[in-house]
Amino acid sequence: MATTKTEPKITAAVPVEPQEKYCGLTPQHLIEIYRLMYQSRKIDDREIMLKRQQKIFFQISGAGHEALLVAAGILLRPGYDWFYPYYRDRGLCLALGYTPLEMLLQAVGAADDVASGGRQMPSHWSHPKLNIVTGSSPTGTQFLQAVGCAEASRYFNHHPGAATKVEGDYRQFKDVNFHGDEVVYVSCGDGTTSQGEFWESLNSASNLKLPMLFVVEDNEYAISVPVEVNTAGGNISKLVQDFPNFHFAEVDGTDVLASYAIFKTAIEYVRGGHGPAFVHGHVIRPYSHSLSDDEKLYRPEAERKLEIERDPITRFRKFLLSEGIIDEAKLNEMALDLTDQVQDAADKAVAAPFPKPDTYMQYLYSPKLDPTSPKFETEPIRPSLPNRSAGGEKTMADLINACLKDEMKRDQRIVIFGEDVADCSREEYLREKQVKGKGGVFKLTTGLQSAFGADRVFNSPLAEASIVGRATGMATRGLKPVVEIQFFDYIWPAMHQLRNELPTIRWRSNNGFSCPAVIRVAIGGYLTGGAIYHSQCGESIFTHTPGMRVVFPSNALDANGLLRTAIRCDDPVMFLEHKRLYRETFGRAPYPGPDYMIPFGKAKVVRAGHDITVITYGALVPRALQAAQRMEREHNASVELIDLRTLNPYDWEAIANSVSKTHRVLVAHEDTLSWGYGAEIAARIAGDLFDELDAPVKRVAAKDTFVAYQPQVEDEILPQVNDVYKALVELAGY
Ligand SMILES: Cc1ncc(C[n+]2csc(CCOP(=O)(O)OP(=O)(O)O)c2C)c(N)n1
Ligand SMILES: [Mg+2]
Task: Convert the pLDDT of each residue in 67-92 to its tens digit.
Answer: 999 999 999 999 999 999 999 999 99
269 lines ligand 1 (CB under 6 A): no
pLDDT by residue (tens digit) across 568-603? 999 999 999 999 999 999 999 999 999 999 999 999
| Percentage of the chain lying above the pLDDT 90 cut | 96
The residues near 685 (Cβ < 8 Å, ≥ 6 apart) are 655, 659, 665, 667, 693, 697
pLDDT at 567: 98
pLDDT at 389: 46
230 lines ligand 1 (CB under 6 A): no
219 lines ligand 1 (CB under 6 A): yes
Distance 498 CA to ligand 2 centre (A): 26
Q: Across residues 633-648, what is the average pLDDT?
A: 98
Distance 221 CA to ligand 2 centre (A): 4
Number of the ligand 1 atom closest to the C-alpha atom of 223: 11
pLDDT at 136: 98
- Ligand 1 atom 26: residue of nearest CA: 138
381-397 burial: b if 16+ Cβ within 10 Å, else e: eeeeeeeeeeeebbbbb
Edge-to-edge strand order for the sheet containing 457-459? 457-459, 414-418, 480-485, 518-523, 573-578, 549-551, 646-648
Say which of 65, 534, 578, 669 is annotated catalytic: 534
pLDDT by residue (tens digit) across 247-298? 999 999 999 999 999 999 999 999 999 999 999 999 999 999 999 999 999 9
Number of the ligand 1 atom closest to the C-alpha atom of 290: 19
222 lines ligand 1 (CB under 6 A): yes
Region class of 677: left (phi > 0), else alpha (psi between -120 and 50), else beta:
alpha
Number of the ligand 1 atom closest to the C-alpha atom of 190: 16
Distance 199 CA to ligand 1 centre (A): 16
Residue 194 buriedness (CB in 10 A; 0-12 / 13-18 / 19+):
middle
- Ligand 1 atom 21: residue of nearest CA: 189
pLDDT at 10: 58
Per the CB < 8 A criterion, the answer to whether 612 and 666 are in contact is yes
Which of 86, 143, 144, 192, when mutated, tests ligand 1's pocket best, judged by the most ligand atoms within 8 Å of its CB? 192
- Ligand 1 atom 7: residue of nearest CA: 139
User: What DSSP line would sit under 114-160, residue for residue?
Assistant: TTTTT-S-TT---BGGGTB----SSTTTHHHHHHHHHHHHHHHHH-G
Number of the ligand 1 atom closest to the C-alpha atom of 188: 15
Neighbours of 11 (CB within 10 A): 9
The residues near 275 (Cβ < 8 Å, ≥ 6 apart) are 205, 206, 209, 210, 211, 245, 246, 247, 269
Cis peptide before 649 (omega within 30 of 0): yes
Amino acid sitting at position 312? P
86 lines ligand 1 (CB under 6 A): no
> Quick check: is 534 catalytic?
yes
Distance 59 CA to ligand 2 centre (A): 16
pLDDT band at 98; cut points 50, 70, 90:
very high
Distance 86 CA to ligand 2 centre (A): 11
Per the CB < 8 A criterion, the answer to whether 574 and 603 are in contact is no
Residues 301, 303, 307, CA angle at the centre, nearest 5°? 115
Per the CB < 8 A criterion, the answer to whether 725 and 693 are in contact is no
Distance 234 CA to ligand 1 centre (A): 17
pLDDT at 18: 80
Q: Across residues 608-618, what is the average pLDDT?
A: 98
Task: Give the C-alpha separation, 363 to 365, whole Å.
Answer: 5
pLDDT by residue (tens digit) across 686-721? 999 999 999 999 999 999 999 999 999 999 999 999
Number of the ligand 1 atom closest to the C-alpha atom of 289: 19
Which of 139, 187, 224, 280, when mutated, tests ligand 1's pocket best, judged by the most ligand atoms within 8 Å of its CB? 139
Per the CB < 8 A criterion, the answer to whether 36 and 28 are in contact is no
User: Which ligand has its closest atom nearest to the C-alpha of 61?
Assistant: 1
pLDDT by residue (tens digit) across 37-53? 999 999 999 999 999 99
pLDDT band at 8; cut points 50, 70, 90:
low
pLDDT at 5: 57
Q: Strand 457-459 to strand 518-523: parallel, antiparallel, or no bridges (unpaired)?
A: unpaired
Which of 202, 195, 196, 236 has its CA nearest to residue 217?
236
Residues 475, 478, 481, CA angle at the centre, nearest 5°? 40
Which of 668, 657, 659 has its CA nearest to residue 698?
668
pLDDT at 240: 98
pLDDT band at 12; cut points 50, 70, 90:
very low
Task: Give the C-alpha separation, 444 to 575, whole Å.
Answer: 13
- Ligand 1 atom 24: residue of nearest CA: 138
Runs of H (alpha helix) within 178-283: 196-208, 227-230, 236-240, 256-271
Number of the ligand 1 atom closest to the C-alpha atom of 230: 16
Distance 139 CA to ligand 1 centre (A): 5
Which of 518, 522, 539 has its CA nearest to residue 530?
522
User: Which ligand has its closest atom nearest to the C-alpha of 143?
Assistant: 1
User: Which ligand has its closest atom nearest to the C-alpha of 68?
Assistant: 1
- Ligand 1 atom 8: residue of nearest CA: 139
Which of 526, 584, 509 has its CA nearest to residue 553?
584
pLDDT band at 3; cut points 50, 70, 90:
very low
pLDDT by residue (tens digit) across 344-385? 999 999 999 999 999 999 999 999 999 999 999 999 997 655
Give yes or no for residue 7 having a pLDDT over 90.
no
| Percentage of the chain lying above the pLDDT 70 cut | 97
Neighbours of 402 (CB within 10 A): 20
190 lines ligand 1 (CB under 6 A): yes
Distance 68 CA to ligand 2 centre (A): 14
Number of the ligand 1 atom closest to the C-alpha atom of 140: 1
Q: Strand 277-282 to strand 212-218: parallel, antiparallel, or no bridges (unpaired)?
A: parallel
Q: What CA–CA distances, in Å, run from 42 to 292, 335, 356, 512, 616? A: 19, 9, 30, 27, 59
Task: Give the C-alpha separation, 151 to 154, whole Å.
Answer: 5
pLDDT band at 392; cut points 50, 70, 90:
confident
Distance 223 CA to ligand 1 centre (A): 7
Task: Give the C-alpha separation, 706 to 718, whole Å.
Answer: 9
138 lines ligand 1 (CB under 6 A): yes
468 lines ligand 1 (CB under 6 A): no
User: Which ligand has its closest atom nearest to the C-alpha of 289?
Assistant: 1
pLDDT at 17: 79
Distance 225 CA to ligand 2 centre (A): 9
Task: Give the C-alpha separation, 660 to 613, whole Å.
Answer: 10
189 lines ligand 1 (CB under 6 A): yes
Which of 195, 223, 284, when mutated, tests ligand 1's pocket best, judged by the most ligand atoms within 8 Å of its CB? 223
551 lines ligand 1 (CB under 6 A): no
pLDDT at 384: 58
Q: Across residues 165-174, what is the average pLDDT?
A: 96
Distance 191 CA to ligand 2 centre (A): 5
472 lines ligand 1 (CB under 6 A): no
pLDDT by residue (tens digit) across 319-340? 999 999 999 999 999 999 999 9
pLDDT by residue (tens digit) across 394-453? 999 999 999 999 999 999 999 999 999 999 999 999 999 999 999 999 999 999 999 999
User: Which ligand has its closest atom nearest to the C-alpha of 290?
Assistant: 1
| Mean per-residue pLDDT over the chain, rounded | 96
pLDDT by residue (tens digit) across 457-492? 999 999 999 999 999 999 999 999 999 999 999 999
Task: Give the C-alpha separation, 464 to 469, whole Å.
Answer: 8
289 lines ligand 1 (CB under 6 A): yes
pLDDT by residue (tens digit) across 480-525? 999 999 999 999 999 999 999 999 999 999 999 999 999 999 999 9
pLDDT at 20: 86
191 lines ligand 1 (CB under 6 A): yes
Residues 8, 283, 265, CA angle at the centre, nearest 5°? 35
pLDDT band at 19; cut points 50, 70, 90:
confident
User: Which ligand has its closest atom nearest to the C-alpha of 193?
Assistant: 1
Per the CB < 8 A criterion, the answer to whether 133 and 85 are in contact is no
pLDDT by residue (tens digit) across 181-218? 999 999 999 999 999 999 999 999 999 999 999 999 99
pLDDT at 534: 97
Which of 45, 10, 46, 9 has its CA nearest to residue 31?
10
466 lines ligand 1 (CB under 6 A): no
